[in-house]
């Protein structure tokens, strides 16, 4: 019993969160593995198949505000449990799709809602256990996204070849139900969390200058991220990099993202979460400007390493900086609202970049916008740091 007492409960919750992110994002980000199989199965256009994943990512992030609030009002275990059921159900019924629009609903909406319900409450619950080492904990938990992508993608590829996408989705649905049900048992909140007793309204957030600055910075940062992730491979090919080598640029970006999640999470506990996020935004913006001038493979690889590291750090620091600014009460609601900005950025960025390329026949303008977006986000964070505004979301009334 004494040995168990030596293990801080927060680290157990962190490990549980790592497993949840490993499974849900590992499966989600394996969508591309099944892309060509879905093309052949439904005889659809690439745009139609791509729309499945676009809807999926948008719903995943935009639903965070609802599920975050539900988690604060009810309990994280209940909401994450609901998410697990939706994940499993969405994947299994996707395997029975007869028309492409069936996948828009099953994979694009139901599966995505499940991830939203599991993601926001789990990272918020984990964050509430840490006052001093929140960046390190967030970094460890968020590496689950990267490791899950690396581990599950080759498994998905093998399954797709041997048993097909339909049976693969069924197996993933059953696997997620079994593993995540065990992981959610360890999602417990600190006893002193009082969110269910504190009055809270979403309108309070949008009257808060610090929240608006952070929300806008995240929106701009995610526009930059999703432009880069979606278009770096065709951009590199346009610049004369071979197809296979261009793919390794994207793969290296993902690997550097794992290091960035842990590295910047750890460093932020010393530097400060706000400084860490400023460094991430500056790094992203400056290296995208470097990318605009890139003409050789090593220049693209340098971009991939720096951008992946800073992008990973940005993702890891969102939950700890939210807690630093706004406190532990109602944290799931606040993080969920902030992640809605990520959903909007994911929807705007790649589509805008594709449209600009179609109009001008070049990626120069889209990547210039991408770099400027990150630099403006850094400026907003510097403004937030210097302002010293009161970040309390509790309504203040004049004394009578």
What contacts 339, CB < 8 A, 6 or more positions away? 61, 64, 65, 68, 120, 218, 318
pLDDT for 30: 82
Check if the beta carbon of residue 21 is closer than 8 Å to that of residue 179.
Answer: no
pTM to 2 decimals?
Answer: 0.80
CB atoms within 10 A of CB 244: 7
What contacts 230, CB < 8 A, 6 or more positions away? 349, 350, 353, 354
Angle (CA) 231 91 123, round 5°: 70
- pLDDT tens per residue, the chain (400 residues)? 444 457 788 889 999 999 999 999 889 888 878 878 888 888 877 778 878 888 888 899 889 888 988 888 888 889 999 999 999 999 999 999 999 999 999 999 999 999 999 998 998 888 888 877 778 888 888 888 888 878 888 888 889 899 999 999 999 999 999 999 999 898 887 775 654 545 666 677 778 888 999 999 999 999 998 888 878 888 888 888 887 788 788 778 888 888 898 888 888 888 888 889 999 999 999 999 999 998 899 999 999 999 999 999 998 888 888 888 887 777 888 888 888 898 888 888 888 888 888 888 888 999 999 999 999 999 999 998 776 555 555 433 333 2
pLDDT for 1: 40
**Backbone torsions φ then ψ of 388, nearest 5 degrees:** 65, 25
pLDDT for 202: 67
Contacts by 192-195 with C-beta closer than 8 Å and gap 24+? 193/128, 193/328, 193/329, 194/329, 195/72, 195/328, 195/329, 195/330, 195/331, 195/332, 195/333
Check if the beta carbon of residue 175 is closer than 8 Å to that of residue 364.
Answer: no
Provide the terminal-to-terminal Cα distance of the chain, rounded to the nearest Å: 54
pLDDT for 389: 58
pLDDT for 388: 58
Query: CATH fold of 2-193, please?
Result: Growth Hormone; Chain: A; (1.20.1250)
Are both 2-193 and 204-387 of the same fold? yes
For 204-387, give the CATH class: mainly alpha
Angle (CA) 233 238 240, round 5°: 100
Domain boundaries, the chain: 2-193, 204-387
């Amino acid at each position: 019993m004494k040995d168990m007492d030596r293990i801080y409960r927060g680290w157990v919750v962190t490990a549980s969160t790592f497993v949840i992110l490993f499974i849900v994002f590992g499966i989600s980000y394996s969508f591309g593995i099944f892309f060509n199989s879905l093309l052949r199965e439904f005889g659809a256009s690439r745009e139609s198949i791509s729309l499945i994943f676009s809807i999926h990512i948008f719903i995943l992030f935009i639903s965070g505000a609802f599920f975050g609030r539900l988690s604060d009002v009810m309990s994280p275990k209940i909401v994450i449990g609901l998410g697990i059921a939706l994940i499993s159900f969405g994947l299994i019924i996707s395997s029975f799709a007869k028309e492409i629009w069936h996948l828009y609903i099953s994979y694009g909406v139901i599966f995505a809602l499940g991830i939203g319900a599991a993601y926001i409450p789990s990272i918020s619950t984990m964050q509430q256990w840490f006052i001093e080492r929140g960046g390190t904990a967030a970094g460890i938990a968020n590496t689950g996204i990267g490791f899950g992508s690396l581990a599950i993608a080759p498994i998905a590829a093998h399954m797709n070849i041997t048993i097909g996408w339909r049976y693969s989705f069924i197996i993933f649905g059953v696997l997620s139900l079994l593993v995540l049900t065990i992981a959610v048992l360890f999602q417990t909140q600190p006893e002193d969390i009082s969110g269910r007793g504190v009055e809270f309204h979403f309108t309070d957030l949008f009257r808060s200058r610090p929240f608006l600055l952070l929300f806008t910075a995240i929106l701009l940062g995610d526009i930059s991220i999703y432009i880069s992730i979606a278009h770096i491979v065709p951009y590199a090919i346009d610049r004369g990099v071979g197809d296979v080598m261009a793919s390794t640029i994207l793969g290296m970006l993902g690997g550097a993202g794992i290091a960035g999640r842990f590295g910047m999470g750890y460093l932020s506990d010393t530097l400060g979460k706000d400084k860490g996020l400023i460094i991430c935004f500056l790094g992203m913006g400056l290296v995208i400007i470097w990318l605009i001038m890139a003409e050789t493979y090593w220049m693209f690889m340098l971009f991939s390493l720096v951008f992946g590291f800073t992008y990973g750090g940005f993702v890891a620091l969102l939950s700890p900086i939210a807690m630093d600014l706004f406190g532990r009460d109602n944290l799931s609601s606040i993080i969920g609202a902030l992640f809605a900005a990520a959903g909007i950025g994911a929807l705007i960025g790649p589509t805008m970049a594709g449209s600009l390329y179609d109009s001008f026949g070049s990626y120069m303008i889209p990547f210039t916008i991408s770099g400027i977006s990150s630099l403006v986000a850094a400026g907003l964070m510097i403004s937030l740091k210097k302002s010293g505004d009161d970040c309390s979301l509790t309504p203040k009334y004049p004394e009578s």
